[in-house]
Structure 1
Amino acid sequence: MLLSIIIPCFNVSQKVIPLLDTLSLIKSCDIEFIFVDDGSDHEEHLALSELLYKKLGNVQLYIQINKGPGAARNLGTRKSRGEYVWFVDADDNLNPSAIDTLREAKCHNFDFIDFKISKREISSSSMTLGQGAHIASDENRSQLIYCFGRLCTKIFNKSFITKNGLFYPERCIYEDNFLAMAMPFYVSEFLISGTIGYYHNISRNSITRPASSIIEPRYFDRLVTARESAARCLSLCKNEDERHATLEKFRRQFLMVTTAKIIKSGSSEMLLSSLYSAYKFVIEEFLKSKDVHDEFIDARKLLIHASGADKQRVMQAWDSSLPDEKAMTDFVQGRDEAWGGEVDFPVFM
């Protein structure tokens, strides 16, 4: 079996139809489709089952209690028979031509092949490296940390995942952030293709983009996954460039994106202050005292630059916040209660 296309599903019976129409065009016997229902409502599950067998026929469908898309992808990986795996979201789509590129490149045994992504009819590469084959090394790994890009645009060699234990965290969302930070430390060789392989649909009501502007506790999964991944990656860094790249990526995932979300939601300044207290606490976990001071200065400058009309509000929250373990604990406990348990992180090899 060449390729397993793995699709996590949660209440997506209407959104998945374009993807099913595309998959129905793939007739190769060495391609398998694995759908994992991540605890959908009963009616949604029945609708999904009917659609799958009507449109695809030969398909694998597994069911699990709601543990997030990462857990669904892990189950799909364990059940897969393909040498390669492609994780595709149910409300997105793919270009079957990418499979032709995989067939051509298979003999090189790349860890992954990265394809262009099309979003709002604009295509681009999520990796800012040139097309062609690349070899990762200590000399260029910091650049790879910066520009590893999205996981959905990559067809992975399954052995790259299994031999390194690079599975998704479970009982969370923002699971991609965790692996996108860690994978650059394990990759050896990869190919960047000029083919558009993935079509991203920006849904107004998805797991990570709910219709409501209210911030739910599960949103703060991004803090927990970013913290855990950064802690592991900092221990793997071999030089200052890798360390700097890892911290910059952590800063974006934990601090900058979350600040923008809080401002957009109209949440109180108290939530901003709690975020900054949690961030400062985590940075003190990671760094020595002199480096902590420098990081706080850099983070403040970035917040000033990014906050625009909300600069005064953001600076007031930042300047008044102190490192506080309880702030981080409150975020963790809130999301743990929402999920009914802690994040289940994989063990890297």
Structure 2
Amino acid sequence: MIIETVLIKNIEENKKNPLITFIVPVYNTREYLIETLDSISATKNKNIEIIIVNDGSSDESHNTILEWCSFKDIQLTYLKQENSGLSAARHSGIAIARGEYIGFCDSDDWIDVNQYLKMATRAIENFCDIAICRSVVFDNDTGQSYDFYDSWLWDDLLKNNPIRITSGIGEPKIFRLEPNANTRLIRRSFFLDNKIEFPNGLHYEDLPVHLQTLGLSDRVLLYGSTGYYYRVNRPGKITGEKSERRFDVLKSSEIAFQNLKIANQDAKGNFLLLTVRMIFWCGENTLNKDRNKFL
């Protein structure tokens, strides 16, 4: 795979590694891209860097990114590569990331960057390799927002506390949280030392990483504030379509269980509950002609 470094800004003059590196994979999301990038850069704190990875977009995303970068006085790198999928784009960013923690943001969603900075500070103070925040769903059709489906689980885990430090052994129910890499920060050294990878060429690629990171980490920070805003019901969104791509959840689940390194039965049971829910949801959204085959 050929990766082109299109632009680097303000890296050389900032010798100290940033607190957070945000990696933004981009594929044909020009209409939403500025809102995404503006949300990540909406802070006076200079302790972040942004790595934008254009994964072979065929729309005007490239020109939009270049124009946006020209107006920003922040640490950023813009990479361009042939279309290779979300996992490959994330790995391209991870390979050059400099931050203490790595965060991800899809290029049609947005974040509250100041909540992520607070979350990272709390994670460092409490020696946590992983920090997870709450998320909200934004309906692109109606303009309405609502808590993500796992809000009830967050309430149960936190019990009105603003944060909680736990682990997959201490609190197995954390395996049932939404397996979305975008709602969390992962310490870069933890990511690299444990050789954690998103499976290439598959959708639902966050599922194996969700299990592996929570299974390996002794200290996980649950951060009770909302940091991530997840857009639904937009044209072209993969998770909103009925297609053969739904079969990928079966392979991702298989990879996740193959990587299972935790012996705790409660943890295994809770992860199984999460996986069954995801498989059932994907099964409901297969094409009618594929339904029997999927089941």
Scaled by the length of structure 2, the TM-score of the pair is: 0.79
- Aligned residue in 2 for 1:47: 64
Cα distance in 2 for partners of 1:24, 1:244 equals: 40
Q: Following superposition of structure 1 onto structure 2, how do residues 211-290 of structure 1 map, counting pairs within 5 Å?
A: 215=243, 217-233=244-260, 236-254=261-279, 256-262=280-286, 265=287, 267-268=288-289, 271-276=290-295
In 1, are the aligned partners of 2:136 and 2:229 still within 8 Å (CA)? yes
The alignment status of 1:62 with 2:79, answered yes or no, reads: yes
Bigger shift: residues 184-193 or 39-48: 39-48
Q: Which of 113, 116, 119 is the matching residue for 2:134? A: 116
In 2, are the aligned partners of 1:138 and 1:238 still within 8 Å (CA)? no
User: Quick check: which has more Rg, 1 or 2?
Assistant: 1
Structure 2: gaps of 5 or more residues: 1-17, 139-144
| Paired AA for residue 274 in structure 1 | K
- Aligned residue in 2 for 1:181: 211
Report how far residue 37 of structure 1 moved: 0.7
- Call closer, same or farther: CA 1:76–1:23 in 2, change over 3 Å: same
In 1, are the aligned partners of 2:28 and 2:59 still within 8 Å (CA)? no
Cα distance in 2 for partners of 1:42, 1:15 equals: 12
- Aligned residue in 2 for 1:345: none
Cα distance in 2 for partners of 1:108, 1:181 equals: 21
- Call closer, same or farther: CA 1:206–1:183 in 2, change over 3 Å: farther
- Aligned residue in 2 for 1:82: 99
Cα distance in 1 for partners of 2:205, 2:57 equals: 19
- Aligned residue in 2 for 1:36: 53
In 2, are the aligned partners of 1:114 and 1:193 still within 8 Å (CA)? yes
| Paired AA for residue 30 in structure 2 | S
1:100 aligned counterpart, secondary structure? helix
Kindly provide the CA deviation profile for residues 299-328 of structure 1, in whole angstroms up to 9, marking residues without a partner as x.
xxxxxxxxxxxxxxxxxxxxxxxxxxxxxx
| Paired AA for residue 92 in structure 2 | L
Cα distance in 2 for partners of 1:55, 1:173 equals: 32
Structure 1: gaps of 5 or more residues: 277-349
1:50 aligned counterpart, secondary structure? helix
- Call closer, same or farther: CA 1:146–1:108 in 2, change over 3 Å: same
In 2, are the aligned partners of 1:230 and 1:246 still within 8 Å (CA)? no
In 1, are the aligned partners of 2:28 and 2:58 still within 8 Å (CA)? yes
- Call closer, same or farther: CA 1:273–1:104 in 2, change over 3 Å: closer
| Paired AA for residue 260 in structure 1 | E
Q: Following superposition of structure 1 onto structure 2, how do residues 1-349 of structure 1 map, counting pairs within 5 Å?
A: 1-41=18-58, 43-55=60-72, 58-98=75-115, 99-120=117-138, 121-123=145-147, 128=154, 129-130=157-158, 131=161, 132-136=163-167, 138=169, 140=171, 142-147=172-177, 149-209=179-239, 215=243, 217-233=244-260, 236-254=261-279, 256-262=280-286, 265=287, 267-268=288-289, 271-276=290-295
| Paired AA for residue 32 in structure 1 | E
Kindly provide the CA deviation profile for residues 110-146 of structure 1, in whole angstroms up to 9, marking residues without a partner as x.
1122222122333466653214232326453x32323
Cα distance in 1 for partners of 2:273, 2:228 equals: 27
1:40 aligned counterpart, secondary structure? coil
Cα distance in 2 for partners of 1:203, 1:52 equals: 28
Bigger shift: residues 85-94 or 236-245: 236-245
In 2, are the aligned partners of 1:85 and 1:157 still within 8 Å (CA)? yes
Larger helix proportion of the pair: 1
Report how far residue 257 of structure 1 moved: 1.6
Report how far residue 207 of structure 1 moved: 4.3
Cα distance in 1 for partners of 2:195, 2:24 equals: 20
| Paired AA for residue 81 in structure 1 | R
Report how far residue 242 of structure 1 moved: 3.4
In 2, are the aligned partners of 1:227 and 1:250 still within 8 Å (CA)? no
1:15 aligned counterpart, secondary structure? helix
Cα distance in 2 for partners of 1:275, 1:56 equals: 49
- Call closer, same or farther: CA 1:2–1:24 in 2, change over 3 Å: closer
Cα distance in 1 for partners of 2:89, 2:26 equals: 8
| Paired AA for residue 102 in structure 2 | V
The Cα RMSD (Å) is: 2.5
| Paired AA for residue 2 in structure 1 | L
Cα distance in 2 for partners of 1:194, 1:139 equals: 18
